[in-house]
Each structure stands twice: as structure tokens, then as C-alpha cells.
Structure 1
Amino acid sequence: MTYHTINWNIIEDEFDEYVWDKATAQFWLDTRVPVSHDLGDWRQLSEKEKAVINKVVGGLALLDTLQSEEGVNVMRVDARTRKEIGVINDFLMMESIHAKSYGTILISLNDQQTIDDTYQWMNNDPRMQYKVKRINEIYQNGNNLQKKVASVFLEGILYYSNFFTPLWYRGQNQLANLSEIIKLVIRDESVHGTYLGYKFQKAFQELPSAQQQTFRKWMDNLLADLLDNEFKFTDQVYAPLGETFVADVKQFVKYNANKAMNNMGFDAIFDHAAIEDINPIVMNGISTETANHDFFSQVGAGYLMGEAETMTDQDYNF
């Protein structure tokens, strides 16, 4: 068999090159963000606040470990173009950086015993383990479309109950460097979700109508199952911060569930009127300039990405 060189001058799908350029331009490393500078803020938090933050950061570490070791790898075999494999390779590198960055956060703010306890929790908590086992089962045994749905749901929904807290503290001018890492991760995940959602749409549109309907039932059942576990996880982890905080996190998850569905070309599943008011403190954490711009992933190639070299609030104005 003759092995053919990839020719980047041949355009199979222009969105491949667009995403490659955007994804590689925003490369970053956790070691460039001085999380230890947040120690002053950290020492002012209550023990229950620290425990919640450690759990959500630890939860992200587990989810991104799955994504870096399994979730991105399984996408290669179903690539529609050769350049898509290059894009996926970039995603894999960034997922590994994400997983490492959460460890950097934990090490920068905690003593060794607390770090060990956090890893012990994330590796044994039933709700966390349910998420990763449910998603990984699809990664290992699902078809092309099912794997893409699982990835979009993981990165576009299940991460966001954990993202909420760092953004909430940033909105109050606390934990600036910790939240900067989170915002960098979100910026990456927005690209990943947009790209995989686009590739999903291309393959889904090729299915006969009857198969589309059957697949949609499977997808809706998966989403209902994941959200049921996610809301119970939210009740469990955020209970120390009060009922209002728990309700706000759930609103945030619903908001992003709508965005994940939009990424794949489907209508929102939650009534926009019921969830449009995300906690203003969190929106302030997203951008200190305005609460109106939407930095979450969007369908299509028309979103704008900030320059990686100069991190400002506009970097999240997609």
C-alpha cells in the first residue's frame, strides 16, 4: 500500500483549517498562570468553601483525564477528512493540558493531605464515577454519532456544574488566577464542542429519516440520564453553599445543555424564558465589561476568538 502525504493545500472541508488556526493560536500552559498568587484570597475563604472548590476542580480533573485518554482518541477512526485528524490531535494535547492544570490548582492552594483527600474523593464518588463510566462506555462501544454526542455532552454540559464556582468567585474579584485557567479551558472547550457538533451534523444529515428519529430517541434518553445524575451531583456538592447557590448552578447547566443541543443542530430542550437569567455574578466573572455577550460555543464558523497572546475579557466574546 502506498502511503500518501497529507496535502494541506487541498481543501476537503474549510472548517477544518479554520478550527486548526483558531485552536493552535490559543495554545496555553498552566505553568504560565500564577495560581499561587490567589493564596491571599484562598485563606479568607471558609473551610466549606475551600472544600467545594477542591471538589469541583477535582471533578474537572477526572473528566478531563477521561477526555484526554479516551474521548479524543476514539474520534480519529471516524474522521471525515485527513485534516480533521490534525485538529483532533490538537484537541488531545489541550485536553492533557487541562487535566494537568487542575492538578496545578490543587497543588498551588492546598497541603498534601488535602490534595490526597481530593483525589481519593474524585476517584470514588458515585456520581462522578457514574459520569465517566456512562460516557466511556459510549466511547468504547458506540458508533460514530454516539461518540460525538457523548463528547459534546461531556464537554458542553457535564463540565459546567464545575465551572460555575470559579466564575462566581471571579465575579467578586476573587481567585483571579484560578478562574483564568478555567476561562482558558472554557475557551478551548467551546471550540471543541463547536467542531464536533459540526462534524456530527454532517454525518447525522446523511442518515435516513427513520434512523434520525431512532437516534434522537437514544440521544434524548442519554441526556435525561446524564442530567438526572448531574442535578443530584449538584445537590450533593453544593449543598454547603445553600439552596440558592444550588439552584443557580442548575440553571447554568440547563443553559449550557441548550447550547450543546444547538451545537449539534437541534432546538434547545429547556425553555429559554425560564433560564435566561444566569447569576449576574457569574456573568461578571465571564466578563467585567458586559453581561450580555455569549462566550459559550455556537453553531457554525462565524464565532470570533481572541488572540492568545493578549488575554482580555474580549477573548471570551464568541
Structure 2
Amino acid sequence: MLNKTMNWQLIEDELDEYVWDKATAQFWLDTRVPVSNDLLDWRKLSDMEKEVVKKAVGGLALLDTLQSEEGLYALKKNARTLKERAVLSNFTFMESIHAKTYGTILISLNTFKDIEEIYTWMNNDRRMQFKAKKINEFYQNGTPMQVKVASVFLEGILYYSNFFIPLWYRGQNKLANLAELIKLVIRDESVHGTYLGYKFRQDFNELSITEQENFTNWMYSFLEELLDNEFAYTEEVYSEIGLVEDIKTFVKYNANKSLQNMGFDIYFKDASANDVNPIVMNGISIETANHDFFSQVGAGYLMGEAEEMLNDDYIF
């Protein structure tokens, strides 16, 4: 087989280089944000609240590990262009950064015993393992389009039940550094989801009408299966804190966004931005802090220059 040199002057798909520039411009590291500065807030939380936050962070660690080790590898095998492979390599590294970030959060706020307990939980909880198993089944054995759908659903939907809690505390001016890291992760996932949704649509548009209908039926069946588990997981983990319905709405809202990234209509009519808990929306919108005044990096690492991708970013 002929090995090809990547020619960055050759334009196979304009979005590849655009996303490469955007993704590399918003590079960041977890070590730039001093999560230990949240210890005062952390100690004021009840044991029940701490447990909820630990499970949220631990669940994200499990899913991001899956994405970095299996998901991006499966996506790269079926890349349409060489530059797409380069973009996905960037995504792979950043997913590893995300997974490490959750470890940094846990280490900064907890004892060794606490950390061991939360890792044991996330490696054995049936709802968490269901998510990972269902997604990984398609990473290992799915078609290229199924792999893309699994990836978009993982990053764009299944993360968000766990993203909710840090944003909720941030909206109340608590755990600011922890939430800043989560917001940096969300900013990356926005780019990943938009890009992979666009790549999915290229594949989808090449199918016949009948093939599109069959695939769409599978996709919505898969979505419902994932959401049934997701809502059961939400009830198990978040009932004590009284936020189950708010989290379900947040998950539905992001499910709509993920489907739109792939070119489909919204699925949940009762989950617009106006339906999402305003405290969480406030947590998302609070301006990012900057902890390193000399090098101009930190939690606000190039946030101004590398904003979230919007639907209009597709249009050239």
C-alpha cells in the first residue's frame, strides 16, 4: 500500500483545516487551574453533596478514558481525508487531557481513600458500565456511521448529566476552579461534536433514501436505549440533591443539539435553552477567570479567541 505524505496545501475539505486551527488554538492543560483553591468551598459541602460531585467527576473520567482509548481510534480508521486524521489525533490527545483533568480534580479535593472508593464505584456501577459497554460495542464492531453516532452521543449527551453539577455550583459562585476546568472540557466537546456531526452528514448524504430511513430508525432506537439508562442513572445518583428533573432537561437539551449537529431536527420539544435550569446557564456564561497574569494562560486559556463553534461555522 502506498504511503501518502500529508499535503497541507491540498484542500480536500475546508472544515478540516478550520477545525485544526480552532482546536489547536484552544489547547490547555489541567495544571494551569488551581483546583485546590476550591478547598474552602469543598469543606462547606455536606457529605452527600461531596459524594454527588465525586460521582459526577468519576463518571466523566470513565467515559473520557473510553473516548481517548477506543473512540478516537475507531473514528480515525475511517477518516475521509488525511487532515481529518490529523484533527482526530488532536481530539485524541485532548480527550486524554480531559481524563487526566478529572483525576486532577479528585486528587486536589479528596483523600487517597476517597479516590480509591470513587474509582471502584465507577468501574462497577451498572449504569455507568452500561453506557461504556453500549458505546464501545459500536466502537469495536460498528459501521463507520454507527461509530460517528456513538461518539456524538457519548460526548454530546452522556457526559452532560455529570457536567450539570459543577456548572450548577458555579452558577452559585462555588467550586469556581473545578467548574472552569469543566467549561474548558465543554468548549472542546462543542468543537468535537460539531465536526463529527458534519462528517457524519457527509456519509449519510451518500446513502439511498431507504438506507437513510433504516439508519435513522436504528439511530433513534439507540438514542432511546441510551436515554432510558441515562435517566435511571440520573435518578440513582442525583435524587438526594433534588435535581433529577433539571438534569434530565439538560440532557435532553444537549441531545437536541447533538442531533442538530448531525443534521436532524430536535427530538425533545420541551428542552430548549429557556427550559434549562437558569443557575446552570449562568454557570456556563460566567466569564472565565485567568490565573496566570504573566503568561496570560490559565482557566481563561485563549477563551476569547477560540469561542464555541456554532451551526453557522459550517457555512463558507
* TM-score for the superposition, normalised by structure 1: 0.91
Secondary structure of the residue aligned to 2:275 is: coil
Secondary structure of the residue aligned to 1:123 is: helix
Could you tell me how far apart the structure 2 residues matched to 1:25 and 1:113 are?
Answer: 38
Match of 2:258 in 1: 260
Match of 2:245 in 1: 247
Match of 1:237 in 2: 237
By relative contact order (CA 8 Å, sep 6+), the higher-ranking structure is: 2
CA shift for structure 1 position 308: 6.7
Deviations 1:104-133 (A, max 9, x none): 000000011110000000000000000000
Match of 2:285 in 1: 287
CA shift for structure 1 position 240: 1.2
Instruction: Write out aligned runs for 1:131-146 (5 A).
Output: 131-146=131-146
Secondary structure of the residue aligned to 1:118 is: helix
Give 2:246's aligned amino acid: D
CA shift for structure 1 position 310: 3.9
Match of 1:180 in 2: 180
Deviations 1:273-300 (A, max 9, x none): 77732111101101137xxxxxxxxxxx
CA contact (8 A) 1:25 1:308 kept: no
Change (3 A) 1:275 1:31: closer
Give 2:56's aligned amino acid: V
CA contact (8 A) 2:91 2:192 kept: yes
CA contact (8 A) 2:249 2:271 kept: no
Match of 2:89 in 1: 89
Deviations 1:80-126 (A, max 9, x none): 11100000000000000000000000000001111000000000000
Deviations 1:2-26 (A, max 9, x none): 4331100010000000000000000
Match of 1:154 in 2: 154
Q: Does 1:72 align with 2:72?
A: yes
- Percentage of pairs with the same residue: 65
Secondary structure of the residue aligned to 1:206 is: coil
Aligned length: 299
Match of 1:292 in 2: none
Could you tell me how far apart the structure 2 residues matched to 1:135 and 1:274 are?
Answer: 26
- CA RMSD in angstroms, aligned pairs only: 1.8
Q: Which structure 2 residue ranges, 5 or more long, are not aligned?
A: 288-298, 311-316
Change (3 A) 1:230 1:259: same
Runs of 4+ aligned residues of structure 1 deviating over 6 Å after TM superposition are: none
Could you tell me how far apart the structure 2 residues matched to 1:6 and 1:221 are?
Answer: 39
Could you tell me how far apart the structure 2 residues matched to 1:99 and 1:191 are?
Answer: 17
Could you tell me how far apart the structure 1 residues matched to 2:78 and 2:256 are?
Answer: 26
Select between 153-162 and 269-278 the one with higher mean Cα deviation. 269-278
Match of 1:219 in 2: 219
CA contact (8 A) 1:286 1:316 kept: no
Could you tell me how far apart the structure 2 residues matched to 1:131 and 1:145 are?
Answer: 19
Could you tell me how far apart the structure 2 residues matched to 1:15 and 1:254 are?
Answer: 27
Could you tell me how far apart the structure 2 residues matched to 1:201 and 1:126 are?
Answer: 33
CA contact (8 A) 1:287 1:313 kept: no
Secondary structure of the residue aligned to 2:77 is: helix
Give 1:162's aligned amino acid: N
Q: Which structure 1 residue ranges, 5 or more long, are not aligned?
A: 290-306
* TM-score for the superposition, normalised by structure 2: 0.91
Match of 2:122 in 1: 122
CA contact (8 A) 2:253 2:271 kept: no
Change (3 A) 1:275 1:9: closer
Could you tell me how far apart the structure 2 residues matched to 1:317 and 1:283 are?
Answer: 17
Deviations 1:154-191 (A, max 9, x none): 00000000000000000011101100110000000010
Give 2:269's aligned amino acid: D
Q: Does 1:10 align with 2:10?
A: yes
Match of 2:290 in 1: none
Change (3 A) 1:87 1:317: closer
Change (3 A) 1:34 1:275: closer
CA shift for structure 1 position 151: 0.2
Secondary structure of the residue aligned to 2:178 is: helix
